[in-house]
Amino acid sequence: MKKREAANSFSAGLPVAVSDIDRELKKLWQETNGTATRASLINLAVYSEESDSLARNTEIVSQITEENSCRALVIAANRAAKKNHVAAWISAHCHVGSARTKQVCSEQISFALEGPCARSLPNIVFSHLDSDLPFYLWWQGEFHDPMEEQLWSWVDRLIYDSQLWTDVNGQMRLVEEAQADARQRVVLCDLNWTRLRPWRLALAQFFDHPAEQDYLNEIEEVEIAFAPGSRNAALLLAGWLAAQLGWMPADRSDDVLSFESASCCRIQVQLREKAGAGLSGCRLLCGRTEFSVSRRKANPLLACRSRHGRRRRDWQLLPIGPDEPAELLGEELRHGGSHRVYLRALQTVRDLF
Amino acid sequence: MNESPDQLHPNPLREGLATRSAPQSCTLVIFGATGDLTHRKLIPALYNIVADGEAPPALTVVGFARRPKTDKSFRDELAKSVRKHSRQKLQPRIWKEFAQSIFYHRSEFNNAAGYKSLAARLKKIDAARGTQGNHLFYFAAAPDQFAPILKHLKAAGLNKAADGSWARVIVEKPFGSDLASARRLNRIVRSSFAEDQTYRIDHFLGKETAQNILVLRFANAIFEPIWNARYIDHVQITAAETLGVEGRAGYYENAGALRDMVQNHLLQLLCLVAMEPPTDLSADSIRDEKVKVVRALRRFDAEEIASEVVRGQYDDGTINGEPVVAYRKEPKVDPNSRTETYVALRLLLDNWRWANVPFYVRVGKRLPKSATEISVHFKRAPLVLFNKEAPTIDQNVLVIRIQPDEGISLRMQAKIPGNNLRIEPVKMDFRYGTSFGKASPEAYERLLLDAMSGDATLFARRDEVEQAWALIDTIEEAWAKQKETPPYEYPSGSWGPEAADDLLARDGRAWRRF
């Protein structure tokens, strides 16, 4: 692999003609002389329309491949360019495997697509998939109307981050239309939902014991504190509580959402914007009893507490979870699942975004 | 009240967060808290559970042992152990929080007052920390201490839990040394804890690859139709280690390889390979099927033992280029010891699926490699087409590597490139370490979480243990009568005595080359 050291860096890799990609990849592996093992469990296509995305996404893929062997297709598209231009690179991300015996390498094929040819994305992607492996598409940014119908025929999991969307409802409508056209069921993976996982775990653990579960029917008020830019996450958390506890949306103002429980009780969810990062706290108020999860300032942990009148109890500290894109994607890949709870949560607050 | 409460009252907020039951808040009391198992396995496993955010709220650990220590000195010692033995690096902020939930309780195992004060302490912990009266007792002490510990736990009322809470006990192997002692131990345990409160730990079952056997067999449509006597020629299970008896001579002299490894670990693996599909994934459905396998194992007549079971003992030899001494020259080993350090068995299952398919099982110390593997050898393809080109065609072999380098490989025949038709075996290989960059959780992590959540699937049930001992006893009894026949000696660094090779050779088979 010495001659091709560039292929291992965070640059896009070794430039190759699109028609020569397979041949060049083969050469790349022949040069390892058996010192490295190629591994792949999924096809991971990463699509972005940001100008500096190739280098950034190459770095993300490098981190991802430490735990998730894949064939990565990193695509940077500039649909606005007038002239057609396609460039391609190949590279390998090698890490010492957990068995600590050999280097385990994942392939990356990078594409820069400019002009009308950016619309040939499905063809570019399909012709370089590792056969028989699941296909995950991470779409960074917003979807276009209409979405590329052809692409959906093969996608197993569509990954996106609704935190970045200005019009969640409109974007979800596009996703649903595309999903309806897909040949197979596409699992929707929202990284904003992945971000909420530690919060959901922290809130859920209060009610594992049957003795505590009565409180779920006594919730009168919920407070969710979030940093600017994280409102979508706060809404999604509210949607999750509502969907799982059977609350129906009743009323809303800018900062207060009202729900009605199955027993016709009103539940108010207050959304409070507060300086900081992501979500900073969530309180469930049930009469004189309060359950709270808050982000610790001193170290990145979630503190889980309850208070019954004057009696306070510290439940536990939990890891706060990832927020960087590579970590979030890694978390998503680790847990997988069908995300039907997510879809339910989203549907419950869909009109409130 | 030992069903997991979340199974009876599902928490709606847990949906989609995990495919397993949630572990419940509890206090884990470790008997033998200053011992090797606690330091090397249990505390590092608990730390990893906490660091991964998998621990139940308010998880509390009380170490129960004889030596004088304070909470602080105990915590300091454990921190060192975690640094040394944990799969994840110790993060000071996480350890600091976790260490606050670890306490030391000094008492002799035989001292009733020590258990009364333990009960009082647990009550305080329950009130102060919210562990909800759930108590998990882990017996990491020597087996001869189990009886007094159980007796005193019962006397102190710690074997019972209040309504809505639970008390469980985890018993480390060995579960007895023969059927009679296993029954005695089970009776003692049962006099204090019901079967559904009892978790007999066999750490082999917590290993990722052992759990994967059921997935491989029952989640892949291609294997189950050929997983029977019609297509499978035989099965081999090998647990080899380069190590000698190390510091365990005291225990090993009385146990030997058969009791130490075959009765538990290897028979558990055999059960997973041979069992019928369970009706569901509940603990008892799976364990019911495993028990049927042990029951179907053909018992040996006294005369058959000599031909179906080979025992060996390592002699002087070389391991990794270094000279090593014979078992009988090891410290604390009787110079005339007849304890087997190697055993190979030819087992048959009397059921429809496995009629006349031998299961060759071997385990040994001071062998050339350390490896635990199961290999399923399929019947040869008929030589109708290729009889000129290949006088013999190798069998297809499916190998399940339990440790190290966990994975699965399949050997098949392929044409060697060229103008001639030359057929050679090739291997398709799947390695966990290559495909999944993240290290698997240690077996003890999974098993501790399972015990906290009330899932006994990966723990041995009383009838499994007793049935396994019934088989082992017939062999041990026959050996005891053959006083004039010592175990075969084999040089350290070899693959065991020649008699073990003969065991297969007479069936026209050979041990798989490692």
Q: Which residues of B touch A102 (CB under 8 A)?
A: 434
Token readout for B224 is: 């189950």
Give me the pLDDT at residue A97, please: 66
| Ramachandran angles phi, psi of B57, nearest 5° | -60, 145
Q: Which residues of B touch A301 (CB under 8 A)?
A: 93, 97
Beta strand extents in B66-160 (DSSP E only): 102-106, 135-139
Nearest by CB to A69, from B16, B437, B439: name it.
Answer: B437
Nearest by CB to B433, from A98, A299, A338: name it.
Answer: A98
Residues of A (225-244) whose Cβ lies below 8 Å from B? 241, 244
Residue B71 per-residue DSSP state: H
Residue B203 annotated among the catalytic residues of the structure:
no
Give me the pLDDT at residue A320, please: 85
CA distance B174 to B197: 18
Nearest chain A alpha carbon to B10: A208
The set of residues, in sequence order, having a beta carbon less than 8 Å from that of B203 and lying 6+ positions away, is B41, B443, B444, B447
State how beta strands A85-96 and A103-114 pair: antiparallel
Q: Count contacts between A and B (CB, < 8 Å).
A: 116
Does residue A4 register a pLDDT over 50? no
CB B159 within 8 A of CB B165: no
Q: Give yes or no for A313 touching B (CB within 8 A).
A: yes
CB A244 within 8 A of CB B12: yes
Token readout for A133 is: 């492996």
Nearest by CB to A316, from B58, B433, B437: name it.
Answer: B58
The set of residues, in sequence order, having a beta carbon less than 8 Å from that of A224 and lying 6+ positions away, is A234, A237, A238, A269, A270, A271, A272, A279, A281, A282
Give me the pLDDT at residue B389, please: 61
| Closest CA relative to residue B12, chosen from A210, A235, A352 | A210
CB A161 within 8 A of CB A47: no
Which residue(s) pair with A226 in the sheet?
A273, A279
Give me the pLDDT at residue B404, please: 84
Token readout for A284 is: 């469930």
Q: Give yes or no for A204 touching B (CB within 8 A).
A: yes
Interface of B with A (CB under 8 A): 5-6, 8-9, 11-17, 22, 24-25, 51-53, 55-59, 93-94, 97, 130, 132, 164, 404-405, 431-439
CA distance B239 to chain A (A): 19
CA distance A63 to chain B (A): 11
pLDDT class of A52 with cuts at 50, 70, 90: confident
Tell me which amino acid residue A306 is: S
Interchain CB distance below 8 Å, A97 and B433 = yes
Q: Which residues of B touch A44 (CB under 8 A)?
A: none
CA distance A113 to B50: 46
- Classify B23 in phi/psi space as left (phi over 0), alpha (psi -120 to 50) or beta: beta
CA distance B115 to B110: 9
| Model confidence pLDDT, tens digit, residues A77-124 | 998 888 888 899 999 998 886 656 678 889 999 999 998 888 777 777
State how beta strands B232-240 and B371-378 pair: antiparallel
Tell me which amino acid residue B217 is: R
Token readout for A41 is: 């469990």
The set of residues, in sequence order, having a beta carbon less than 8 Å from that of A188 and lying 6+ positions away, is A157, A158, A160, A175, A179, A339, A342, A343
CB A261 within 8 A of CB A245: yes
Residues of A (135-194) whose Cβ lies below 8 Å from B? none
| Burial call B175-191: b when 16+ CB within 10 Å, e when fewer | bbbbbeebeebbebbee
Does residue A9 register a pLDDT over 60? no
| Closest CA relative to residue B462, chosen from B451, B473, B470, B454 | B470
CB B406 within 8 A of CB B434: no
Give me the pLDDT at residue A8, please: 42
Give me the pLDDT at residue B7, please: 53
Q: Which residues of A touch B403 (CB under 8 A)?
A: none
Does residue A7 register a pLDDT over 60? no
Give the best residue of A100, A208, A213, A236 to mutate against chain B (max B CB count within 10 A): A208
Interchain CB distance below 8 Å, B16 and A317 = no
Residues of chain B with pLDDT under 50: 1-6
Which residue(s) pair with B322 in the sheet?
B319
Q: Which residues of A touch B11 (CB under 8 A)?
A: 204, 207-208, 213
Q: Which of A119-128, A226-235, A267-276, A291-300 is the least confident region?
A: A119-128
CA distance A167 to chain B (A): 26
Q: Which residues of B touch A100 (CB under 8 A)?
A: 433
Q: Note the pTM of the prediction, 2 decimals.
A: 0.82
| Model confidence pLDDT, tens digit, residues A299-353 | 678 999 999 888 888 888 888 888 889 999 999 998 888 888 999 999 998 887 7
* Mean pLDDT (chain A, rounded): 86
Instruction: Scan for tokens 């088989």, then name that residue.
Output: B471
CA distance A67 to chain B (A): 4
| Closest CA relative to residue A40, chosen from A29, A53, A55 | A29
Residues of A (85-114) whose Cβ lies below 8 Å from B? 95, 97-102, 104
| Model confidence pLDDT, tens digit, residues A165-192 | 888 888 988 888 877 777 677 899 999 9
Nearest by CB to B12, from A197, A245, A299: name it.
Answer: A245
- CA distances, A328 to each of A51, A117, A169, A334, B320 (Å): 22, 31, 23, 10, 44
Tell me which amino acid residue B215 is: V
| Model confidence pLDDT, tens digit, residues A219-258 | 999 999 999 989 999 999 999 999 999 999 888 887 899 9
Give me the pLDDT at residue B330, please: 93
Interchain CB distance below 8 Å, B16 and A339 = yes
Interchain CB distance below 8 Å, B15 and A244 = yes
| Omega prior to B404 cis, within 30 of 0 | yes
Give me the pLDDT at residue B303, please: 85
pLDDT class of A2 with cuts at 50, 70, 90: very low
Give me the pLDDT at residue B387, please: 63
